[in-house]
Amino acid sequence: MTTASLPMLRRSPPRWLLIALAGLVPATLSALDAYVQSRLAGQRRVPWPNVIFSSSEWLFLAALTPIVIQLARRVPLRRDRIGRVVVVHVVGALLLCIGWATLGIACGWLLRTYPWQGHFGRDYLSWIMTSVPWSVVMYFAFLGCVYAFTYFAEAREREAQQARLSAQLAEARLGALRMQLNPHFLFNSLNALAVLVRDQRTRDASRMLELLGAVLRQVLQGEKRQEVPLSEELRFVERYLAIEQVRFSDRLQLRWSVDSSLDDALVPEFILQPLVENAVRHGIAKRSEAGTIEVGAVADGGQLVLSVRDDGPGYREEQKDAGVGLANVRARLETLFGSAASLELRRGESGGTIAIVRLTLRRPSDA
C-alpha cells in the first residue's frame, strides 16, 4: 500500500468530520452515565462539571483522530518497511496520549474537577502515565479501522478498474469480429456475382448487384450496435437470401418458422447470416436438385433458440470448426454471453444440417 493508495482519505475530507462526529455517541453516553450515577448516589444537585468532563474526554479523543488518519496516509502499512511503520505509529500513539492528557488536564482545571496535588509537573506526568494504556489501545484500534477501510476501498477500486478493462477488451474484440464479418460476406457475394457474369446471366447479375447494394447500405449505415431486435436481423437475412436466390434461381426454397412474439428479442447483429451462408454453401450448393433452408426462432424457457436447417448432404464432424463465419459466431457468443450461449451443429434426423444458437432471451426492457 503506497501513499497514493489512500484516495478516500485525500478526496473526502468530510469523512474526517464524520469520524470526529462519531465521538459524540460515546460522549453522550458517558455524560448520561455520570448523570445517572449522581442521581443513584442521592446527590441533590447535578454535578454538571463532572458530567461535562466525562463527555469531553471522548470529544477530545475524536478531535485528535485526524492525527491517526494523517499518519496512516503518510506511513501506509508495508511489509518491507514494517520497522519504520511500527516506530512511527508508536510515536503517533504517544502523541495522541500527550495531546489527550493535556486537553484533559486543561478541561479539568477549567471545571475544577481535577484533584491537584500542588505540583504541576508531577501531576501532569502522572496524568499522562495513567492515560497511556487506554490512549494506545484506542490509537491502534482506530488505526486498524483506517487500514481496513483503506484496503476495502482499494479492493473495490481494483475490481471496478478490472471490470472497466474487461469491458473495453470485450468491446474491442467484438468490434474486430464485426469488422471481420463484413469483408467475409462481401467477398463471398462478389464471388457469386463473378460466377453470374462469367455465365453471362446479365439480368441475374444486375438484380444481384441491386440487392447487394441494398444489403451493403444497411451494413454501412448501421449504428455498430452489438445487439438488434430479431425482426431486424431477420430482415437482413431475408435480403441476403434474396441475393442467393438470384444465384440459385429456383433451386433455393425458403421456409420461415419464427414466433412473431419474439420480434423484439435481442440478438447479436449478423448472428444468423453466417449460419445461413454456411447452409447455402455446404447444403444447397452441394445438391443437384432444389433444396430448402428453414430459419426458425422459438422461446424455450428463458432461452431464445435460433435455428438454420438445410436438407443438403448432412453435417460432418470436420465441419465443426471450419470456416470464418462459424468461428466468428462462436467467438461473438462467447464474448457477449460466456457460457450462457452456445452454437451447436448437428445432422438432421432426416438428413441435412441443423445449426442451433441458444442464448438468454432478452428484450430491450431487459438491456
**Residue 137 pLDDT grade (very low, low, confident, very high; cuts 50, 70, 90):** confident
- The pLDDT value given to residue 3: 43
Which of 11-20, 57-66, 306-315, 329-338 is predicted least confidently?
Answer: 11-20
Given a cut of 70, whether residue 127 has pLDDT beyond it is: yes
- The pLDDT value given to residue 295: 95
Mean pLDDT of 351-367: 88
Mean pLDDT of 325-329: 82
- The pLDDT value given to residue 185: 65
- The pLDDT value given to residue 20: 63
- The pLDDT value given to residue 184: 63
Given a cut of 90, whether residue 92 has pLDDT beyond it is: no
One-character DSSP codes across 139-159: HHHHHHHHHHHHHHHHHHHHH
- The pLDDT value given to residue 73: 82
Q: Tell me which residue has cell 441476403.
A: 240
**Residue 231 pLDDT grade (very low, low, confident, very high; cuts 50, 70, 90):** very high
- The pLDDT value given to residue 58: 81
- The pLDDT value given to residue 280: 86
Mean pLDDT, all residues of the chain: 80
192/231: higher pLDDT: 231
Q: Find all residues with CB under 8 Å of 96, minimum gap 6, and list them.
A: 64, 67, 68, 135, 138, 139
Given a cut of 70, whether residue 346 has pLDDT beyond it is: yes
Tens of pLDDT, residues 235-249: 989 988 888 888 777
C-alpha–C-alpha distance, residues 66 and 20, integer Å: 8
Mean pLDDT of 300-312: 92
- The pLDDT value given to residue 307: 95
Tens of pLDDT, residues 93-122: 888 888 888 888 888 778 776 666 667 777
pTM of this structure: 0.54
Above pLDDT 90, what percent of the chain? 14
- The pLDDT value given to residue 200: 83
- The pLDDT value given to residue 4: 43
| 15-19, 189-193, 320-324 — most confident range | 189-193
Given a cut of 60, whether residue 63 has pLDDT beyond it is: yes
366/310: higher pLDDT: 310
C-alpha–C-alpha distance, residues 247 and 241, integer Å: 10
- The pLDDT value given to residue 364: 85
Using CA atoms, how far residue 147 sits from 62, 69, 238, in Å, is 17, 9, 61
Closest CA to 230 of 259, 254, 203: 259
Sign of the C-alpha dihedral computed for residues 130, 136, 139 and 142 taken in this order: negative
| 57-71, 203-217, 261-275 — most confident range | 261-275
